[in-house]
Amino acid sequence: MVDFNFFITSNYRKLTHKKTFTFSAPSNIALVKYWGKKDNQIPANPSLSFTLSNCKTITSLTFTAKETKGISFDLLFEGQPKESFRPKIQKYFERILPYCPYIEDYHFTIDTQNTFPHSSGIASSASGMAAISANIIALEKELVSDKDENYFLQKASFLARLGSGSACRSIKGEMVVWGKTESIANSSDAYGIEFDYEVHPNFKNYQDSILLVDKGEKQVSSTVGHELMFGHPFAEQRFAQAHENIAKLKAIFASGDLTEFIKIVESEALTLHAMMMTSMPYFILMKPNTLEIINAIWKFRNETQVPVCFTLDAGANVHVLYPESVKTQVLDFIANELSQYCQNNQYINDFVGNGVEDLTQ
Ligand code: DP6
């Protein structure tokens, strides 16, 4: 059990100057899905993800010292006031306050932008919460002198998790594991850790083309979906399966076995949606075109033996995953056959990346 008190900062300076930090954080795509959580954003099962490169949030945080204590911030989206984001950020600040009491000493101006279209249906909560957490940790680094880089990395992920669970997997590393599980040393429910085992060249620079099937507002939010895993008839089985799949993937990453990789990744995606369809109330987030794409991928893979597969998030969009070595063939396939199933033929080509970047000037 992790002692969360480890992340409470109690001895800190107060700065009187004004300063702006800027950090970018990428989105990530889970191969083993987080679905179900306990109190305080503790996952019901471990998850494992590829960090992405192109789908990013860039967030600047300006702090100014103030006299009275309390949470105080202004929110901008692409330079313009954005009040609709306020409740989420307010909740985030309230959750991190016990660990970062210094935030009450400052007024913050937070300006954020995404590299992907806002209405694309791509969840920006993972990249957004990771980016703001990286900024908070940059501030903390100026306030304390008794902590090392490893502590700050863990705490950035810990804070991001309090904003949105999957965000803790967007801080550092190409592959990240979040959630205590036997096969991964030092794994934790409190923060994500870099997958630190052998990775076969087949998985280097793995590609992810995100097909934008439906940009509409989701009918059931992830938060509600997680809650529906309470009392779900298949929950225990599912949670156990996630542990097993991480252990299997660890061996697959070492051996480079793409056939086995595909089996696990596609099964995880369909299991996630099976959990939605079998919860009470039940719901379906896939759209007809999600199924068209899945079937087209299966047909193409059968006919060509190209090791391309899919995964899904809590939505209708499809992530098409493939090794860099087959990039040309898969991009042709997407342009010629799959793009017709996307809204306005839109998709985003991404690939595995490394996490947060400091863009402070
Ligand atoms: C299906 O991280 O968005 O994408 O913790 O409530 O913010 P909250 O949920 P969120 O859930 C993501 C669920 C998922 C699977 C995954 O990314 O592991």
Domain ranges of the chain: 4-197, 205-351
In this structure, the number of other CB atoms found within 10 A of the CB of residue 321 comes to 25
Is residue 237 scored above 60 in pLDDT?
A: yes
Nearest CA to ligand 1 atom 7: 164
33 lines ligand 1 (CB under 6 A): yes
Positive or negative: CA dihedral 15, 16, 22, 27: positive
Q: Among 78-82, 142-146, 331-335, whose mean pLDDT is lowest?
A: 78-82
pLDDT of residue 17: 87
Q: Please, are residues 154 and 191 in contact by the beta-carbon 8 Å criterion?
A: yes
> pLDDT tens across 36-53, in order?
999 999 999 999 999 999
314 lines ligand 1 (CB under 6 A): yes
pLDDT of residue 222: 87
In this structure, the number of other CB atoms found within 10 A of the CB of residue 191 comes to 23
Reply yes or no: is the peptide bond before residue 323 cis, omega within 30 of 0.
no
Span from the CA of 311 to the centroid of ligand 1 (angstroms):
14
pLDDT of residue 228: 96
Can you tell me the distance from the alpha carbon of 44 to that of 240, in angstroms, rounded to the nearest whole number? 10
pLDDT of residue 62: 98
166 lines ligand 1 (CB under 6 A): yes
Is residue 1 scored above 60 in pLDDT?
A: no
Question: ∠ CA 177-156-221 to the nearest 5 degrees?
Answer: 65
Residue 47 CA: which ligand 1 atom is closest? 18
Can you tell me the distance from the alpha carbon of 346 to that of 106, in angstroms, rounded to the nearest whole number? 41
In this structure, the number of other CB atoms found within 10 A of the CB of residue 78 comes to 11
Q: What is the 3-state secondary structure (H, E, C) of the chain?
A: CCCHHHHCCCCCCCCCCCEEEEEEEEEEEEEECCCCEEHHHEECCCEEEEEEEEEEEEEEEEEEECCCCCCCEEEEECCEECHHHHHHHHHHHHHHCCCCHHHHHEEEEEEEEECCCHHHCCCCHHHHHHHHHHHHHHHHHHHCCCCCHHHHHHHHHHHHHHHCHHHHHCCECCEEEECCCCCCCCCCCCCEEECCCCCCHHHCCCEEEEECCCCCCCCCCHHHHHHCCCCCCCHHHHHHHHHHHHHHHHHHHHHCCHHHHHHHHHHHHHHHHHHHHCCCCCCCCCCHHHHHHHHHHHHHHHHHCCCCEEEECCCCCEEEEECHHHHHHHHHHHHHHHHHHCHHHCEEEEEECCECEECCC
Q: What is the mean pLDDT of residues 207-218?
A: 87
pLDDT of residue 15: 92
Total residue length of the chain:
361
> Tokens 């945080």 correspond to what residue?
61
Span from the CA of 315 to the centroid of ligand 1 (angstroms):
11
Residue 129 CA: which ligand 1 atom is closest? 7
What is the phi/psi pair of residue 299, to 5°?
-65, -50
pLDDT of residue 215: 76
Residue 314 CA: which ligand 1 atom is closest? 1
> Tokens 């059968």 correspond to what residue?
302
Span from the CA of 43 to the centroid of ligand 1 (angstroms):
10
Q: Please, are residues 311 and 28 in contact by the beta-carbon 8 Å criterion?
A: no
pLDDT of residue 275: 98
Produce one character per residue of 294-309: b if its CB has 16 or more CB atoms within 10 Å, e if not: bebbeebbeeeebbbb
Q: What is the mean pLDDT of residues 51-70?
A: 96
Span from the CA of 75 to the centroid of ligand 1 (angstroms):
23
pLDDT of residue 118: 66
Amino acid (1-letter code) at residue 98: P
Confidence class of residue 251 from pLDDT cuts 50, 70 and 90? very high
pLDDT of residue 218: 72
Confidence class of residue 142 from pLDDT cuts 50, 70 and 90? very high
| CA-based nearest residue to 127, from 276, 18, 23 | 23
Q: Please, are residues 309 and 321 in contact by the beta-carbon 8 Å criterion?
A: yes
Q: Among 21-30, 80-89, 188-197, whose mean pLDDT is lowest?
A: 80-89
Mean pLDDT for all residues in the chain? 95
Span from the CA of 12 to the centroid of ligand 1 (angstroms):
33
CATH class of 4-197: alpha beta
> pLDDT tens across 288-337, in order?
999 999 999 999 999 999 999 999 999 999 999 999 999 999 999 999 99
pLDDT of residue 110: 97
Q: Among 33-42, 58-67, 79-88, 304-313, whose mean pLDDT is lowest?
A: 79-88
Is residue 124 scored above 80 in pLDDT?
A: no
Question: Would you tell me which CATH number, out of the four given (3.40.640.10, 3.30.70.890, 3.40.50.150, 3.90.320.10), belongs to the domain 205-351?
Answer: 3.30.70.890
pLDDT of residue 219: 77
Span from the CA of 299 to the centroid of ligand 1 (angstroms):
29
